[in-house]
Amino acid sequence: MQHGWLETWHTFSFDRYYDPEWMQFGKLRVLNEDIIQPGSEFPDHPHRDMEIVTYVIDGTLQHRDNMGNGSVIQAGDIQYMCAGTGVMHSERNPREADATHLYQIWIPPDQSGHTPAYDQKSIASAEKHNRFCLLISPDGADGSIAVHQDILMFATSLEADQALRYTANQQRTYWVQVVSGKIRVNGMELGHGAGAGITMEEKITILADKNSEFLLFDMV
């Protein structure tokens, strides 16, 4: 969808895009790939009772909110905001020449009424090189950001012809989203921007056809 200052692709129903069969998957309510043009912004707007995660792929994002947070997030960083009982915030691309490329992810919390909170974390390239790098979790394991939901989110940069295997649980659901490149998920080919929901599997095998980056979500 093209808004002039914003180019965006919606995985699930969002804004003017509506598909009753794709309202969400597991605990993923919003999974948007956004490109924000130089000097443009999401102006101040409210949220409540939502866990909001932003993964910056390229460029710079400037954050401000009514909790008093003002920060700049760079490529490779992850940002977390618990909207809880209510929060106002804005997100801006402060660059004059280059676009900002990111994924915006919304996760319904385990209950309503949490105290609003903010966090962010820088992820070194080496941390996700040919391995699953844990970004969010319900308990902050391995230095990840703790969120109010039973969900794990991993980022991986996988070299061409390399493969990773993830042990799955048939009682849980999984989503793989391709940030760049081309991969095969249990034999199914996925290119840039594509995603796949996975259920009733005991193992997830991800093979890179070329240098690729992807996100993996493990959730109830």
Spatial distance between the Cα atoms of 62 and 151, rounded to a whole number of angstroms: 26
pLDDT at 77: 96
pTM recorded for the entire structure: 0.96
Domains and CATH numbers, the chain: 6-122 (2.60.120.10), 126-219 (2.60.120.10)
User: What is residue 119's predicted lDDT score, i.e. its pLDDT?
Assistant: 97
Q: What tens-digit pLDDT sequence spans the chain (220 residues)?
A: 666 889 999 999 998 889 999 999 999 999 999 999 999 999 999 999 999 999 999 999 999 999 999 999 999 999 999 999 999 999 999 999 999 999 999 999 999 999 999 999 999 999 999 999 999 999 999 999 999 999 999 999 999 999 999 999 999 999 999 999 999 999 999 999 999 999 999 999 999 999 999 999 999 9
